[in-house]
Amino acid sequence: MACLDPAFSMFADPTLSMGCRLFAMTIRSRILLTFISFTCCLSSITTNAFAQSAEERQYLLMYFKEEELVVEAPTRTRKSLSQTAENVSVVTADEIRLMNAHTIAEVLNTVTGVQVFLTGGPGSSASAFIQGSGSRHVAVFMDGVPLNNLSDNAAELGLIPVQNIEKIEIIKGPASSAWGSALGGVINIITKAGQDEGFGGVLSATSGKHDTGDFRAEASGKEAGVGFYFTAGRLQTDGFRSHNDFSGNNAYAKLNYDITSKTSVLTTVSYEKVSRGIAELPDFGIYVNNDVKNVRSTVAMRSSLSESIDLQITAWHLRQHSDFSNRLISTGAEVSADSYLDDGYGGGLKLSWKGEHHAVVLGGDYDTRTLDSDTIADNRQGIERQAAYINDTMSYGRLTITPGLRYDKTNTNGDFTSPSLGMTYRIGETTLLRASAARGFSVPQLAGTYGDNLFHVSNPDLKMEKVKSYQIGAETAVMKHLWAKVSGFRHDLDDVLENVALTPGSFITVNTGRERREGLEVELRTAPVYHTTLTAGTAFISAEDRDTGQTIKSVAQRTYDVGLQYDDGSFKALVQGHYIYWNTDPFFEGKYDEFIVDAHVMKTLYARNDHSLEAFADVHNLCDDDQYPFDIYKNPGRWFEAGVRYVF
């Protein structure tokens, strides 16, 4: 719930008036579904039309890892990346390990088209924006559990450790026809499954400037039909500016049991407990502290009903508890405090059918959650959501068509129907064309609907924020050893939430905004030459008010990413540069004219059988440059860390 930090919320929602910004710094059933008829003539299964040809796969493996070639997020079932109409990026566990990332926020900060607001060093508050969307528009899931908090609909990415992550799939653009409230995109976190047999693990430790340390242990294996994966870790730092310290412990467990050869049960539990400093506000003589305790659990049953039909039933529970306290810089005495308890459960049912030319997914989702806080009406409010969805991946030779439809119903803000239609077409084995159109939505944050306190008046009549989205793109490797991807997008938003001042010290959230966000993304990647790979990416975003034509502030207008990687098997090196033009109001005294460059090296010191010992070192912000949208959240200067990793 880092977005509950007052100054952070102000950035995530740039529509706040100046007066509200200054005050924020100091305090801070029945489901209706209409199925479209594209599945009425499904034929019986003969061959797998969705497998990649040998030539196509060989071409893709020149630029991507094996695990990147199949994605789940676009239609919520495994499918080839080359049959995905959406603009999708994938980050793998190997890439995360090489960059020695501590949290998922650091990983996402390297992805083209994703802008991450980092408020400090490792563990600091962080939130993601995709193609200029608000952080409340980006839906984040781990093991199918929604991580977005109820108060402002944003996920706290600075707290999520990365050692248990197998890969991250990012859908850039609306994904409501599959996921519901996902107007800006989806970040789907897929965790590690562990080994198929035997026993193995990883031990690692890092040490860096300002007493920064990251200590991890992992174990996985399979015994007597039970597969398991366990990890525990601790991240700590004294901070890279005053009152920006972090101390947190985390643990994760996954168990899998094969009931029969066709049916298995899977359960997961994750835990995070953190204490950290958010920011210091010298003008007001205070600093902000934050304590967080998160617990998530899931149970899932997966069964193959036949050669072509799979059934999955899931249930989950989520409890996110976050406390904020404002304290005097001079004495440390507490001035005020806020507490947020987000608690709830949910689940889903999904039926997948694969035929000769079809891959149909039919499912339903349900969740009910409550928020306890002094900042909302009656100190306790909740939301109940029900949904049903269907999509189909129709493959005919080089052409793939993906229609989708979802119906969502809430007890707070009405209902919404989200259709989508996507297409891919392969030209030879080296060129792919993509196009998609979709209608999406975002459920208003509970703080807008029920936020009733000294500075905010609740508005129970808030409606969904809506978007009509169009994207087109192409990727090709017609030039030898060079892969290129170009994606254009246009998102027209209606009923956008805006905060309107009622008095100099209070405001109300209303649906009055009409915005347009459009732009272009370009990504380049070379095939390895002498063990060396070059990557580059850029995104240009134009965000304007459709009524006034004015440019919207605090929406990043352009980003640049470059990377150079060397990997000969035993020695690996990575240099990455990242730049974001944040376009914030001069009032915030941001400074973002320079690249931030990080360097990572990793050397295998010992390797025999299944055991290896690695040493690694990192230089963060190599050139000691500045890149921050707010002067109270200055980025760390140059700093170093090093560590060892033992794999067995």
Beta bridge partners of 92: 167
Question: Cα–Cα distance between 648 and 641 in angstroms, integer?
Answer: 23
Burial of 101 (0-12, 13-18, 19+ CB in 10 A): buried
Q: What are phi and psi of 527, to 5 degrees?
A: -70, 155
Place of tokens 């990997």: 567
pLDDT of residue 648: 95
3-state secondary structure of 96: helix
pLDDT of residue 54: 62
| 587 within 8 A of 610, measured Cβ to Cβ | no
**For the chain, what is the domain count?**
1
Q: Please state, as a whole number, how many other Cβ atoms lie within 10 Å of the Cβ of residue 631.
A: 11
pLDDT along the chain (648 residues), means of 10: 38 35 34 35 38 61 77 94 95 96 97 96 96 96 96 95 97 98 98 85 97 97 91 97 96 96 96 96 95 98 96 98 96 95 98 96 98 94 98 96 98 97 93 97 96 90 97 92 96 96 91 97 96 97 96 96 96 98 96 97 95 98 96 96 97
CATH number at residue 220: 2.40.170.20
pLDDT of residue 37: 37
Q: Please state, as a whole number, how many other Cβ atoms lie within 10 Å of the Cβ of residue 398.
A: 14
pLDDT of residue 15: 33
| 568 within 8 A of 591, measured Cβ to Cβ | no
pLDDT of residue 223: 86
Beta bridge partners of 399: 396, 425
Question: Cα–Cα distance between 599 and 618 in angstroms, integer?
Answer: 6
pLDDT of residue 195: 72
Cβ contacts of residue 15 below 8 Å, gap of 6+? Answer: 496, 497, 498, 499, 513
pLDDT of residue 68: 82
| 169 within 8 A of 88, measured Cβ to Cβ | yes
Query: What is the bridge-based pairing of β-strands 456-457 and 506-526?
Result: parallel
Question: Cα–Cα distance between 126 and 128 in angstroms, integer?
Answer: 7
pLDDT of residue 43: 34
Tokens standing for residue 561: 């990413």
Range of 320's domain? 2-28+36-647
Which of these, 107, 132, 105, 124, lies nearest to 14 by C-alpha position? 132
